[in-house]
Structure 1
Amino acid sequence: MDLKNMISGTDIRGIVSKYEDKDINLSEKEVEFIAKGFGLWITEKCDEIAKAESRKVKVAVGYDARHTGPKFSEVIRKTLMEMGIDVYDCGMSITPSLFMATIFEDYKADGAMMITASHLPSYYNGIKFFTKDGGLQKSDVTEFLEMAEKQEKNLIKKEKGTETVKNLSDDYASYICELIKNKIGKGDKPLKNLRIAIDAGNGAAGFFAEKVIEVLGGDTAGSQFLNPDGNFPNHIPNPEAKEAIESIKKAVLDNNADFGIIFDADGDRSAFIDKNGREINRNNLIALLSEILLKEHSGGIIVTDSVTSAGLKEFIENRGGIHHRFQRGYKNVINESIRLNNEGKYSPLAIETSGHAAFKENYFLDDGAYMAARLLIQLVESREKGIEFTDVLNELSEPAEEIEIRIPIKDKDFRASGKKIVENFREYAGKKEDWSLETPNYEGVRVNTGEKSWFLIRLSLHEPFLCVNIETEKEGMGNDILEELKYYFKKYEKMEI
């Protein structure tokens, strides 16, 4: 069973219910195969350690609000136990908590499997994988799928594993509560007199309202869509989506809340709204987190993806930091930040404009709930000083225009074709008057067309598209750039522009 085409970055994602012209490609059969592969891989990695500690290999399994989650979890747990692996049934949880199941003293799992397709529509599901070293790399996922292909038979062991039911969601909530209390140092109710509106998008993070905000003394009036519903009936569970941001913004303003938090379906991403309705996502979010971290430790390197603004670079450098604009893909920015730290270069944050953020202080875990806790701590501390901590974003220069388009590449080997197009464009752009190539640059071709105007052309990580991002300092400049690009790309028959 070849499932490599279903690897999405470092996860496996597929279609679980027929939708329009899309056929099911992730059923219980595929999930069992995936569980066998991960079971083989984690046993090979951890069996000696487990034996030395007189125990079996342990794997934690959880799922988000999607309808197929409970059944897929059952299939995974049964498969792993037949392979002689002990399992933790963690029920409905958020993705960061599954990683923490490898860290928490009462768990210490060797590996974890989280059943989720993140923000994708309800007809999708998938699986993310962890060890105590973090999320698996794409090469690890490919390796264990190949292991399953070679050793699909004779995996059942005489001594089967056992199952333990764990309330991981509550344990993780307690962990976040202790973090906030310890950082603020004002007793058990540090959020007293604060109104925090939570929007969970009917995903798995709705617990944050009751088990974090309310436990810490906060008021959650105005919170919405906290009940898990795999149909995601109110809005797409994606903090990047305009409809989702507008929804939480309205909740904050209508309820006179002090702060708003919106999560994606599996809780590894979040975005925020301050009391005045300011959106804290994308460049704003990166700037605010950079401000906090650089005050704690000057000179840090903030690693971001490739589409961040010129204003953000200026903002970070004005605070004594270094902006390292790298590549799209949350695992890419995390790996780059880890690499820098391993070389002795302090990098406290790896973050994408999509809202994926990983802190050095938090295992470089992609964790929307931890990020929310960090900002709540800052909210409390700034209120005590009589200031609004988001006011610093007034110093972040905003572009006059932001344009993002995706150009289809009609070629079976779209990756090879796309790479050639990008390389040809690099040569063209380097010779064009009034354009200058950004250096260093780690993805695609980034061209400066003014002091704070630029565009980036890159190949999509997973899909047959050429992605174009444009930011300009004056109205109208974006359309001029688009017209120039249309003229250039007309010569490529395999591109639909």
Structure 2
Amino acid sequence: MGVFKAYDIRGLVPDELNTDLARRIGGAFAQLLGARRLVIGRDARTHSPEIAAAVIDGVRGAGTSVLDIGLASTPMAYFAIGSQTCDGGLCVTASHNPGEYNGMKLCSEGARPISAANGILDIEHACAGEPASPAAERGTLEQIDLLEAYTDHVVSFCDLDVPITIAIDAANGMAGYTLPSILERLPQVRAECMLMEPDGTFPVHEANPLKEENLDGVRELIASTGARLGVGFDGDADRCCFVDETGRTVPADLMTALLARDLLARKGAVPVVYDLRSSWVVKEEIARGGGEPIRDRVGHSFIKATMRERGAAFAGELSGHFYFADNFTTDSGVLAMISTLNLLGREENRERPFSELVCDLRRYHATGEINFRVEDKQGAFARLAETYTGGRSDELDGVTIEFGDLADADWWWFNVRASNTEPLLRLNLEAKSAETRDRRRDEIVALLGEPVA
């Protein structure tokens, strides 16, 4: 069944994911956890109510009670799972995928992620077999509105005490559901907003802020309002991307470095996790601030597990996920936004443009992530190994090789890894100079083939 992915469940409705399968997933999920009560939330896609209702029916049929929180962003669902008495839960969402898709993000107790490695494949196996016999007694159903409690939780992270204007593009996603009540409680945040009405058809643009064209609206809003920064959210609001006052995108790895620098100045020497695609700047800034830089595999399940194991306070990924230990060790676009506002509002930063705060972090030259459709992945890795010898390498996730010393003008490194979610190889490369970046990028493109969009 193609809907069972590395980190979630996702597919076209109804061809790949329908109410019958959703019902079976609900029952299998409840049995996997041996759960007494599960939280179920959903996004605003047109078919989310029926998919969620089917999941709830399956969970209750397995004898497990349900706490139905209704409409919710994924971070709000994480909050519900982390704060309520339950054994886990799921949010019906397909994140940034187009409106014809739907899916589920699943957690066990304490909002710990369930991935292919620890449960999704078991659910797939259960769904492929004979339907389980219903429990002798159906689970109960309780419906609850947690928006006010979630708002209290988010607002508690804000220590901004000066007015700041920010441009926000909710992309017709679930940030538009949770943000109004949050912003109402934060009058110092002067928000200029667009596409705040949740609409699961995403009529204006794709709810994926990693694509530069999807930030054009927030750039225009910055220009017309004089906002100090802008932020674009994805469909379920667990990711976001930032734009400075000039309209220039601030890559998520540089945001990780910036937020880590601020956190370490306030909390002292704490571990910070970052994914191995991130700029060398991230490692340098964490170490410079007295923290412990921890480089990790790509993917939220790995990042969250490492944060818990190492006691990390914060983590960031190149994909725009920002993780907070004080938020049940989960990712939240809204908390990343508030953390950035807090930083801009600090006395030493109040008169400084956002672009100036980021400027010293742009000291290396990165390609961004480049994707290749490669049938023979092992052959591709073999060609890379034959071509690039003599560097310092590791295989934490794919292959990473570093060449030269950081002081050298021609220092560079690259990582090539197989996507966990698509049939692709992904390249990230960074160099001391733009010339070295471009030359080395072209070499690797010649080895791997024409990039795909």
TM-score, normalising length from structure 2? 0.88
Matched residues in 1 for 2:41 and 2:446: separation? 50
Indicate whether 1:463 and 2:448 are aligned. no
* 1:16–1:59 Cα change, 3 Å: same
Output the CA distance in 1 between the equivalents of 2:7 and 2:369.
25
Q: Deviations over 1:230-254 (max 9, x none)?
A: 1111221112110222321221221
Change (3 A) 1:386 1:481: closer
SS of residue in 2 equivalent to 1:33: helix
**Deviation, structure 1 residue 61:** 1.2
Say yes or no: does 1:472 pair with 2:451.
no
For the 8 Å contact 2:245–2:354, the answer to whether it is kept is no
Post-superposition shift, 1:306? Answer: 1.9
Residue in 1 aligned with 2:140? 162
Q: Please give the residue correspondences for 1:185-196 in structure 2 after superposition, counting only pairs within 5 Å.
A: 190=161, 193-196=163-166
**Of 401, 420, 436, which residue of structure 2 is paired with 1:446?**
401
* Secondary structure at 2:259 match in 1: helix
From 3, 9, 12, give the equivalent of 1:12: 9
**Aligned partner of 2:398: which letter?**
E
**CA offset at residue 110 of structure 1?**
2.1
Q: Tell which structure's C-alpha radius of gyration is larger.
A: 1
Structure 1 residues 380 and 132, CA gap change in structure 2 (3 angstroms) = farther
Distance between the aligned counterparts of 2:266 and 2:250, measured in 1? 21
Offset at residue 452 of structure 1 (A): 4.4
Work out the CA distance in 2 between the residues paired with 1:399 and 1:482.
Answer: 14
Q: Give the secondary structure class of the aligned counterpart of 1:179.
A: coil
- TM superposition shift of 1:495: 11
Change in 2 beyond 3 A, CA 1:71/1:311: same
Measure the CA separation in 2 of the matches of 1:209 and 1:465.
35
Structure 2 partner of 1:406? 371
- Mapped partners of 2:182, 2:347: distance in 1: 20
Residues 456 and 179 of structure 1, relative CA distance in 2, 3 Å threshold: closer
Instruction: State the distance in 2 between where 1:11 and 1:398 align.
Output: 36
Deviations 1:140-197 (A, max 9, x none): 122233345556232243x3222222223333123212332xx45xxxxx56x43333
Q: Distance in 2 between matches of 1:459 and 1:440?
A: 12
Structure 2 residue 321 is the aligned partner of structure 1 residue 356: yes
Q: Is the counterpart of residue 368 in structure 1 residue 333 in structure 2?
A: yes
The structural deviation recorded for 1:357 is: 1.6
SS in 2 for 1:91: strand
Offset, 1:221: 5.1
Does 2:82 match 1:85? no
Q: Is the 8 A contact 1:448 1:455 kept in 2?
A: no
Cα shift at 1:264: 0.9
Q: 2:287 corresponds to which letter in structure 1?
A: E
In 1, distance between residues paired with 2:252 and 2:151?
A: 26
By how many angstroms is 1:39 displaced? 1.8
Mapped partners of 1:112, 1:369: distance in 2: 21
**Structure 1 stretches of 5 or more lacking a match?**
18-23, 47-56, 185-189, 342-346, 411-416
Taking the TM superposition and a 5 Å limit, the aligned residue runs for 1:180-329 are 180=158, 183=159, 190=161, 193-218=163-188, 220=190, 222-329=192-299
CA gap 1:130/1:439 in 2 versus in 1, 3 angstroms: closer
Range that drifts further, 379-388 or 283-292: 379-388
* Cα gap change, 1:241 to 1:317, in 2 (>3 Å): same
CA–CA separation in structure 1 for the residues paired with 2:446 and 2:318: 29
2:64 and 2:349 map into 1 onto residues whose CA distance is: 50
**Structure 1's 6 and 281: CA in aligned 2 closer, same or farther, altered over 3 A?**
same
1:53: which partner in 2?
none
For the residues of structure 2 that align with 1:483 and 1:195, how far apart are their CA atoms?
Answer: 41
- Residues 382-393 of structure 1 correspond to what in structure 2 (within 5 A)? 382=347, 391-393=356-358
Equivalents in 2 of 1:156, 1:270: separation in Å?
42
Q: Is contact 2:274-2:295 (8 Å) kept?
A: yes
Matching residue within 362, 371, 378 for 1:419: 378
1:38-74 CA distance string (max 9 Å, x none)? 12123x2x4xxxxxxxxxx222211112111111111
- What is the match of residue 392 of structure 2? 437
Give the conservation status (yes or no) of the 8 Å contact 1:273–1:280. yes
1:359 and 1:392 mapped to 2: Cα distance?
22
Does the 8 Å CA contact 2:73/2:178 hold for their aligned counterparts? no
| Pairing 1:111–2:78 present | no
Select which of 127, 142, 149 maps to 2:121. Answer: 142
> Higher mean Cα deviation, 231-240 or 480-489?
480-489
Deviates more, 1:459-468 or 1:379-388: 379-388
1:68-116 C-alpha deviation (Å, 9 max, x unpaired): 1111111112222233322222221111111221233xx3222211011
**Alpha-carbon distance in 1 for matches of 2:368, 2:156:** 42
Number of aligned residue pairs? 446
Which residue of 2 is the match for residue 330 of structure 1? 300
Q: Compute the RMSD of aligned alpha carbons.
A: 2.9
| Aligned-residue identity in percent | 24
Of 33, 37, 40 in structure 1, the residue corresponding to residue 28 of structure 2 is 37
Whether the 8 Å CA contact 1:116–1:266 is kept in 2: the answer is yes
Structure 2 counterpart SS, 1:285: helix
SS in 2 for 1:102: helix
For residues 393 and 71 of structure 1, do their structure 2 counterparts lie closer, same or farther at Cα, with a shift above 3 Å needed? same
Deviation, 1:380, is 3.2
Give the C-alpha shift of residue 441 in structure 1.
Answer: 5.3
Give the conservation status (yes or no) of the 8 Å contact 2:245–2:353: no
Distance (whole Å) between structure 1 residues aligned to residue 241 and residue 325 of structure 2: 20
TM-fit CA distance, 1:129:
0.9
